[in-house]
Amino acid sequence: MSRPGLSTEWWRGAVIYQVYPRSFADGNGDGIGDLPGLLAKLDYIAGLGVDAIWISPFQRSPQEDYGYDVSDYRDVDPLFGTLEDFDRVLARAHQLGLKVLMDQVWSHSSNQHPWFLESRASRHNPRADWYVWADPAADGTAPTNWLSVFGGPAWSWEPRRRQYYLHHFLSSQPAFNLHNPAVVEALLEAGRFWLDRGVDGFRLDAVDWMCHDPELRNNPSVHQAGQPIPAKPFGMQLHQHDLLHPHTLEVIRSIRGLQDEYPGVTTLAEISSQDGAFDRLRRYTGEGMLDMAYTLRFMKGNLSHETVASTLHWMTEHQEGWPCWSFSNHDVERVASRWSPAGEEPGQPRPEFLRLLMALLLSLRGSICIYQGEELGLPEAELRQEDLRDPFGIAFWPDYKGRDGSRTPMPWRQHGPHLGFSEAQPWLPLPETHRALAVEAQAREPGSTLNAWKDFLRFRQNHPALVHGMLEHVGTPTPLVCFRRLLDGEALLCVFNLSAVPQELGRPAGETLEPLWSHAARLEDGFGRIQLGPCGAMICRLSQPSGG
């Protein structure tokens, strides 16, 4: 399908805004966000200065994993609206200059999908091998020791076939057998349905889980005797055989073939936090593969000089492939609560630290994903056990509180019912800590986090080196992070103080510095040493002194 006038690489350096539709805006007053609600807020998203939106799943689903269990890949769940509602969202987004990416969950489906209902009926039907089935061990137990991310064995018994089926997550999310070309083609055909409607690309969920070891070998243990037993036993294994199989690359090539039928569309892969994540990112986005990938590896634990420095070093060493950087999404604790300045424990978010994170994220080489509410500096919501909806959190409470704390509804108004999200009781409660951070309140405050994001996104657009330039890591002592962005003779020096203690950095030898953007930072004597206050950051243009 030809798409005249579309740049085939618009996605390089693009800023993508993730919408979790269930919690974004409620258009019909039932307490759950939907496509009409999103339509009403598209002007807000465009006003931020982003390039695209990624919409989390809104296809038909029993909602046991809140949309990541699809029962019909070609229709909109009535909870979110209709196909016509989606067409209106797509048309309005394009009018506003926004590209639209859809979530596609192609590693597994719902157990209510007609394909699975047929597959489980017998061992001899047209879709008998569309999912991963295996005979029990000699003693009737599961075929392998593989574990579900959500706890317990990754196998469930199906008496109709006298076999087990594989599920990496909930038992209601059976894994596709993507070693079967017919399954891959059926999913690609579902993708064509949406591409023909005009979507601009796909975010591909759980790519590392797409292919398993057909020999069904057990995973080795990484748990040492005497170590504490974790709440999540998934971490007690080295996941050599249940995921990360080399055939994933063949599936990716097939997806790339679909993409090439529609010039101008893009693909964004989700990569797990399993070891080797950055190497997989490079391979998944190499020549003839997907366009972009992000990894959950960068969303675990606290931010540290070592983490950022090693990432920057990797970016300097590996210019092939294309990363998409993200600090938050619907699966992890909000970054405002998860990360803190060096030497401090996460707690009440510091506005100055949130400015630093914003500038760091938007200055990295690659494309960028920001998660709804990140531009407001929303902290993680503290929910009661009885408020939880996430099956992951319900299963592991209180050791792990699940993902609901990052999925609470957007606060649109400081006053009024449910902070402007809905007239009805929302599906998750809105925390009181989000009231003062509502969009309406921040929009009228020039120094707000929201307006800082808008200003920096404009600044980034005006400096192509930040969007398309090469990146060179500049070694600095802890807690400073420093790198250059280089494009067409322009060199920008980006410096960040990851601590709450003032720091300073000397001027590069033989260079003059022209400050372009700063936060809690200044140049000493006009163009000498860079003085960085707590969580300070500065971006300067580098140039040779006249006559030098």
Active site residues: 205, 261
Q: What are phi and psi of 493, to 5 degrees?
A: -100, 125
Say what the alpha-carbon torsion angle 324, 326, 330, 335 is, to the nearest 10 degrees. Answer: 180
Q: What are phi and psi of 388, to 5 degrees?
A: -65, 140
Residue type, position 531, single letter: Q
- Answer whether 152's CB lies under 8 Å from 180's CB: no
Which parts of 96-232 fold into alpha helices (H)?
Answer: 114-119, 181-197
Q: What does the alpha-carbon distance between residue 522 and residue 547 come to, in Å, rounded to a whole number?
A: 25
Which parts of 462-495 fold into alpha helices (H)?
Answer: 464-468
Q: What does the alpha-carbon distance between residue 508 and residue 100 come to, in Å, rounded to a whole number?
A: 42
Residues β-bridged to residue 492: 485, 541
- Answer whether 357's CB lies under 8 Å from 524's CB: no
- Answer whether 200's CB lies under 8 Å from 5's CB: no
DSSP codes joined into one string, 337-388: HH--SBTS-S-SPPHHHHHHHHHHHHHSSSEEEEETTGGGTPPPP---GGG-
Of 315, 300, 289, whose CA–CA distance to 473 is shortest? Answer: 315
Residue 186, classed as helix, strand or coil, is helix
Q: What does the alpha-carbon distance between residue 23 and residue 420 come to, in Å, rounded to a whole number?
A: 12
Q: What does the alpha-carbon distance between residue 424 and residue 417 come to, in Å, rounded to a whole number?
A: 8
Residues β-bridged to residue 101: 54, 201
Q: What are phi and psi of 261, to 5 degrees?
A: -75, -15
